[in-house]
Amino acid sequence: RKKITLNTLRTLYKKGEPITVMTAHDFPSGHLADYAGMEIVLVGDSLAMVALGMDDTSEVLVEEMLLHCRSVSRAAKTAFTVGDLPMGSYEIAPEQALESAIRFIKEGRVQSVKLEGGAEMAPTVKKITSAGIPVLGHIGLTPQRQNSLGGFRVQGKTALGAIKVLEDALAIQEAGAFAIVIEAVPQEVAALVTRKLFIPTIGIGAGNGCSGQVLVQIDMTGNFPPGRFLPKFVKKYGDVWGESLKAIEAYRDETKSRAYPAPEHTYPISKEELAELER
Ligand code: KIV
Ligand code: NA
């Protein structure tokens, strides 16, 4: 399969074929997403929590994101790659954002960047896209702004809120974004926004009326211990945690009982050499 470009994505969008997007944070998770045929692999700043154990995304640094981007980029032979600009790396001025975006391309080796925000970020999106770096927008629930949003809350639930989501989408589209993530917005609102745009919408918690979907990989593969909170929109398609746990527990038990390593896991020495050794 050939490397996916913006042209490939445009063709899918024109055909009305949903675009599949998955997060990844290292070589193995990037390899899996690519191998499974994801059209876009996003190195989301959710890796702050799922890969680094931080409480939220506000802590993760550009340097840390770049290391993860490089690892995922090496794995993405086919998928189009997006790196998430972390909080603090793009809000000060469009010039700051462009500098960060250039680092993501040169050092992170991704093909594009994502940034959160609506109409107020339009000049920033324009600055980055004018330099030839594709931008994926992100509106609705923007986790980097959780403190000012009053937590992780559904956006666009009122008529006024829905109009804001639409206006944000139009402004980001106008600024040159190639697609827009819409997070935690009622299905009808996301579908309406999708109909009004001429670029793809990528939904997460936004229903099936979007032009594509994105999920956090460790959420959807079930690679987390029991009892962890999951947002309503996540569908757990697997039990990677359970499978890995079974394997590691079996290894522990077989090591304790000396069932492992068995003869087939060991290196031979010839009888002659052994006799020599024991003399
Ligand atoms: O950081 C992330 O994983 C994201 C996606 C969920 C859109 O921003
Ligand atoms: Na993110």
pLDDT tens for 99-127 read 999 999 999 999 999 999 999 999 999 99
Instruction: Give per-residue burial for 139-161: e unless 16+ CB within 10 Å, then b.
Output: bbbbbbebeeeeeeebbbeeeeb
Is residue 248 very low, low, confident or very high in pLDDT (cuts 50, 70, 90)? very high
Confidence of residue 249 (pLDDT cuts 50, 70, 90): very high
Provide the annotated active-site residues. 183
pLDDT tens for each residue of 122-170: 999 999 999 999 999 999 999 999 999 888 999 999 999 999 999 999 9
Backbone Cα Rg of the chain: 23
One-letter amino acid for residue 6 of the chain: L
| Cα separation, 132 vs 117, whole angstroms | 20
Q: Is residue 191 lining ligand 1, measured as CB closer than 6 Å? A: no
DSSP per position, 167-178: HHHHHHHHTT-S
How far lies 262's CA from each of 207, 245, 250, 257, 266, in Å?
Answer: 51, 21, 14, 11, 7
* pLDDT tens figures, 202-225: 999 999 999 999 999 999 999 999
pLDDT band at 7 (very low <50, low <70, confident <90, very high): very high
- Max distance between CA atoms of the chain, in angstroms, equals 90
Give me ligand 2 centre to Cα 84, in Å: 6
Residue 226 tokens, joined: 């029991």
pLDDT at position 114 is 98
Give the Cα separation of 218 and 81 in Å (integer): 18
Rounded Cα distance, 64 and 53, in Å: 13
Q: What is the mean pLDDT of residues 219-234?
A: 94
pLDDT of amino acid 4: 97
Can you tell me the distance from the alpha carbon of 64 to that of 7, in angstroms, rounded to the nearest whole number?
A: 30
The number of the ligand nearest the C-alpha atom of 204 reads 1
Closest ligand by atom to 41 CA: 1
Query: How many residues does this entry show for the chain?
Result: 279
Ligand 1 within 6 A of 204 CB?
yes
Predicted pLDDT at 151: 85
Task: Express each pLDDT in 178-192 by its tens digit.
Answer: 999 999 999 999 999
pLDDT digits (tens, 9 = 90+) for 36-79: 999 999 999 999 999 999 999 999 999 999 999 999 999 999 99
Give how far Cα 76 sits from Cα of 45, 49, 60, 136, 178, Å: 18, 22, 22, 18, 19
Of 92, 86, 95, 93, the closest CA to residue 114 belongs to: 86
Per-residue pLDDT band for 29 (boundaries 50, 70, 90) equals: very high
Instruction: Please give the Cα distance from 236 to 84 (Å, whole number).
Output: 23
Residues whose Cβ atom is located within 5 A of ion ligand 2: 44-45, 84
Percent of the chain surpassing pLDDT 90: 96
Q: What confidence score (pLDDT) does residue 170 get?
A: 98
For residue 242, pLDDT over 90 is answered with yes
Q: How far is CA 208 from CA 44, 190, 214, in A?
A: 21, 9, 11
Q: Which atom of ligand 1 is nearest to the CA of 143?
A: 8
Closest residue by Cα to residue 191 from 215, 168, 211: 211
Beta-carbon count within 10 A of 195 CB = 9
- Give the rounded percent of residues in the chain with a pLDDT score beyond 70: 100
- Position 12 pLDDT exceeds 90: yes
Does the global pTM surpass 0.90? yes
